[in-house]
Structure 1
Amino acid sequence: MIALYNGAPHGHSFGKFVQDARVTQLGVVPSLVKTWKSTGCMASLDWSSIHCFCSTGEASSPDDYLWLSGRAGYKPVLEACGGTEVGGSDVGGSLVQPQSFSCFSTPVMANELVILDESGNPFPDNEPCIGEAALVPIMLGASSTLLNADHDSVYFKCMPFFRGQVGFYKAHGRADDTMNLGGIKGPNGGPDQLVIVAVLKKGNQIGLDELQKIFSLALSSAISPMQVSQPVNQCTH
């Protein structure tokens, strides 16, 4: 059974929906959890029905996810990383393994990956390392042929031959963190905070509350509502 909420999940009303619907598995994205934590909007709610959380979309914060886990009696937060081209997820969490906040515990079923160093060579198995994840074909759910392009050339040219690794994996960001998402660029990558300076025309007596409404409406109508998780909270003449 799937519980469907009509509206943006930024505030207390969504949390009460989760409580009243007795949701057992709740999917989140890190930006949303950060908003819940910073605003305190989920206080005094009973999320004891939740068995686990699932997270994807961005690199997450261990502190934020410790807070999230605590809302449901410290239930696990399962991370998932992947994309359309790989048929869904390539690395994630599992309820049959110990979990660490903001980490992935295993390649997903029917998938294998290694971590490559700066020279494109795989690190030895079980060695702590930082590098780029490389997926090992063949993957369940992934495409086997590209239209209008050479599949092997696009995906496998210059790739080394290797075996997989086991252990915990941590995502330090995503490729599109190098871009401004909807005009917003946070200090740690991805959407975070937008600061607006308004210079009013001489004689304009508009109040701060009205300015806040104008800016919030303009932002929410122009970009993704997920990126306007908090209203404009300070304006300066």
Structure 2
Amino acid sequence: MLPNSPANVVGVGELALNPLMFGASSTLLNANHYDVYFKGMPSWNGKILRRHGDVFERTIRGYYRAHGRADDTMNLGGIKVSSVEIERVCNSVDDRILETAAIGLTPAGGGPEKLVIVVVFKDANDSTPELNSLKQSLNKALQKNLNPLFKVSDVVPLASLPRTATNKVMRRVLRQKLTQIGQNCKL
């Protein structure tokens, strides 16, 4: 969302910063500084904005909600996709879903990443819905809205998602937890 967007517009986008921010780097050792921070970014007041790297949502009431890193991507069948893109689709599949986290897991024996959707339900006391049915609904929605080749391997219900102090989902922690679970039982 550009800084001059109307306040009542809802949207999701990558956070951008004033390029002259105090303490910001001006060079990178192993990458092109311009490509990493400025390429493809909009300008505002005659200056190209600096990429921050986090995806934020502006809600109907004008509040902001962090969704995590924009570069938190996975490779599903040779297609690079952002976790946030997948989660946006999955969150709207069923009214009982509070939030989801999309995790790409590499099988123990190697091979392409498998898509696992971690689901937090609105009512934790409600009996767990039929996960196979939910998995089919998630697959349909992802294939229709993102890519017909995407396939959910597993759906894992949790009471809540691990978060940082700034409320970002810690997908790395989920990935480690699911990898451990997958080693003990076939995930």
Q: Which has the larger radius of gyration?
A: 1
TM-score, length of structure 2 as denominator length? 0.30
